[in-house]
């Protein structure tokens, strides 16, 4: 049996822990996890401690014997940015850090470099009847999205002058057991029985379950047609925020209390409280087309959105902090 050696960066993060747990189930992968601190790892997974990621990080030990790199580590998007020059901070990690790793990987003989980017490279929203596609012209609007695009561009340029293959995956909003941020807040609101003023929102948004994202990443580890391609990823089913909350309510066994507040009032309230970014994610549409994944890779999301929401809710409810 052929064994593929894989280095996963960002191993302690939301995606990293799920990916390593998934890949460690199979005997045909030899895994190395790069993380800034010691973390619990499945048996047989090697830890490669990394102090930080920028243009000077030495990856020599982590890359030893590696055939495939899955690069998850990044300065992530934050709602309340504290830096006076956020683009510089994002570039330091997401651009310089990524290209530095990729160059060292190429010199070390790595065959394939899988970069987890962001749908923010495409833009922030789609108009009614429109969807983002993998090969659309990029249109990032914030420093995080710009940094991810610049990293993509640097990787694709590197692929032109080396034999290392590049694969780029742009996920939409990711959810699953252990999810944080806005998705966790929505589950808390529903479980607490709060009335939610989103019953009149008829947008459509794409989401991706962690199980589906991890499955696509694994497919891209070895599929020959993935080389030097860009893929978007979602569950393949778009929901309005009201539909999502209703489904979450079913999974949480606590029906969502949705109030049909006019959109103009929602936007007005968001402006007063300086929460326009939150309102955008709740009210506007963002849809992606994943047909390319099927055409090139024969890939379809293996887990339905209902099944994935049930698993997410179950994990949430099993946490003792949310018991009745």
Q: Render the burial of 272-284: b for 16+ CB within 10 Å, e for the rest.
A: eeeeeeebebbbb
Q: Is 144 a catalytic residue?
A: yes
Classify residue 252 as exposed, middle or buried by CB count within 10 Å of its CB (0-12, 13-18, 19+). Answer: buried
Residues in the chain, how many? 324
Nearest to 132 by CA among 258, 12, 235, 232: 232
């999810």: which residue's tokens? 179
Question: What 3-state DSSP class applies to 32?
Answer: strand
The DSSP 8-state label assigned to residue 45 in this structure reads P
| Catalytically annotated residue among 29, 90, 144, 175 | 144
Cα–Cα distance for residue pair 214/302, rounded to 1 Å: 10
Nearest to 55 by CA among 138, 150, 161, 163: 150
Please report which residue ranges of the chain form alpha helices under DSSP H: 14-23, 60-63, 86-90, 98-107, 143-161, 181-192, 210-222, 241-251, 263-272, 276-283, 291-297, 305-318
Active-site annotation, residues:
144
């Amino acid at each position: 049996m052929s064994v593929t050696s894989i280095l996963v960066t960002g191993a302690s993060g939301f995606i990293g822990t799920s990916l390593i747990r998934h890949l460690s189930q199979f005997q045909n992968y030899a895994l190395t996890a790069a993380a800034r601190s010691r973390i619990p790892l499945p048996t047989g997974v090697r830890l490669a401690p990394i102090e930080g990621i920028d243009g000077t990080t030495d990856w020599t030990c982590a890359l030893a014997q590696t055939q495939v790199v899955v690069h998850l580590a990044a300065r992530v998007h934050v709602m309340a940015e504290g830096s006076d020059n956020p683009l510089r901070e994002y570039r330091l990690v997401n651009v310089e850090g990524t290209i530095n790793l990729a160059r060292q990987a190429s010199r070390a003989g790595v065959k394939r470099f899988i970069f987890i980017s962001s749908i923010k490279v495409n833009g922030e929203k789609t108009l009614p009847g429109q969807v983002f596609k993998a090969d659309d012209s990029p249109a990032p609007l914030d420093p995080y999205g710009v940094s991810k695009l610049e990293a993509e561009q640097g990787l694709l340029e590197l692929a032109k002058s080396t034999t290392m293959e590049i694969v780029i995956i742009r996920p939409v909003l990711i959810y699953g057991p252990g999810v944080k941020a806005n998705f966790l807040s929505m589950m808390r609101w529903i479980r607490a029985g709060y009335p939610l003023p989103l019953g009149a929102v008829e947008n459509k948004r794409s989401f991706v379950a962690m199980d589906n994202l991890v499955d696509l990443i694994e497919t891209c580890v070895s599929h020959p047609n993935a080389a030097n391609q860009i893929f978007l990823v979602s569950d393949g089913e778009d929901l309005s925020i009201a539909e999502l909350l209703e489904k979450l309510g079913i999974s949480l066994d606590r029906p969502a209390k949705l109030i049909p507040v006019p959109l103009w009032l929602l936007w007005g309230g968001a402006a007063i409280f300086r929460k326009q970014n939150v309102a955008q994610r709740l009210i506007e549409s963002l849809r992606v087309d994943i047909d390319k994944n099927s055409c090139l890779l024969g890939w379809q999301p293996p887990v339905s959105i209902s099944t994935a929401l049930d698993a997410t809710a179950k994990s949430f409810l099993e946490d003792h902090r949310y018991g009745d």
